[in-house]
Amino acid sequence: KAGVTQTPRYLIKTRGQQVTLSCSPISGHRSVSWYQQTPGQGLQFLFEYFSETQRNKGNFPGRFSGRQFSNSRSEMNVSTLELGDSALYLCASTSFGLAASDTQYFGPGTRLTVL
Amino acid sequence: AQSVAQPEDQVNVAEGNPLTVKCTYSVSGNPYLFWYVQYPNRGLQFLLKYITGDNLVKGSYGFEAEFNKSQTSFHLKKPSALVSDSALYFCAVRVPGSSNTGKLIFGQGTTLQVKP
């Protein structure tokens, strides 16, 4: 099975712009979670989607949003970019995500740089 | 607040020697515990997890982890380190409950350096 894929791998944007990142989960997986990784804050949970519905959300401002499509592919959007949004954005997929013991499988990430 | 701690920013070990990367957690309830590894410019790769049962869990690439409930620890171990094991290691917990759906809580990471 192909793993989790994320596009693009690298992005450079300027402050004030918006950006959309894409994540395709492992085939058959229906739950997608997003994380932000920075040197200062480490890995932080952004949100999780299942069956096109956001089930959980972390402590991020409303500029961070996401959605999931009927084929389980997910996108996250960051509006009005700030310098502090520079990070590696990781998505992870799980079969159903209903059991806390389910393993999350991660994609390679999108490296976002905000200038 | 629920948290995971990896007390060592970096662990240095000689190739062939045993290695230990430490992890402790502070969460309510009975969490599930995970270890992931990250190589430069790559995503996180799953190594192993503890759900229930035997406190010693075996995972990928010869890694194992020991769960200790009384000490709330989940240390990662390997009997004989390889240079190729050099990477960034993350411990994570998942707390059961609808409010924690899809959410892993991560430690800050430990850089493992294996020297030839």
Give the whole-angstrom CA distance, residue B70 versus residue B55: 12
The segments of chain A whose pLDDT lies below 70 read: 97-98, 100
pLDDT reported for residue B18: 98
Of A33, A42, A90, the CB nearest to B43: A90
- Can you give the pLDDT at residue B52? 86
Hey, is the C-beta of B59 within 8 angstroms of any chain A C-beta? no
Phi-psi domain of A76 (left: phi exceeds 0; alpha: psi -120 through 50; beta: other): beta
Q: Where are the beta strands (DSSP E) in B1-116?
A: 3-5, 10-14, 19-21, 24-26, 32-38, 44-50, 56-58, 64-68, 73-78, 87-94, 105-106, 110-115
- The pLDDT of residue B1 is 79
- CB-based contacts of A48: which residues, under 8 Å, 6+ apart? A31, A32, A33, A34, A54, A55, A56, A57, A97, B101, B102, B103
Q: How many CB atoms neighbour CB A28 within 10 A? A: 10
Mutate to test the interface with B, among A57, A89, A95, A103 (most CBs of B within 10 A): A103
* Tokens standing for residue B2: 């629920």
The 10s digit of each residue's pLDDT in B29-72 is 888 999 999 998 888 999 999 998 889 999 999 999 999 999 99
Interacting residues of A39 by C-beta distance below 8 A, sequence separation 6+: none
Closest Cβ–Cβ partner in A92, A97, A105 for B101: A97
Say what the pLDDT of residue B96 is: 80
Mutate to test the interface with A, among B30, B50, B103 (most CBs of A within 10 A): B103
More confident residue, A98 or B25: B25
Q: What percent of chain B has pLDDT over 90?
A: 79
Mean pLDDT of all residues belonging to chain B: 94
Which residue of B44, B47, B67 to mutate against A (max A Cβ within 10 Å)?
B44
Q: How much of chain B exceeds pLDDT 70, in percent?
A: 100
Query: Which residues in chain A are contacts of B103 at CB distance < 8 A?
Result: 33, 45, 48, 56, 58
CB-based contact (8 Å) between B100 and chain A? yes
pLDDT at B41: 80
C-alpha count within 13 angstroms, C-beta hemisphere, residue A53? 5
**Span B71-85, average pLDDT:** 97
Q: How far apart, in whole angstroms, are the C-alpha atoms of residue A110 and residue A112?
A: 6
pLDDT attached to residue B88: 97
Residues in B closer than 8 angstroms to A49, CB to CB, are 102
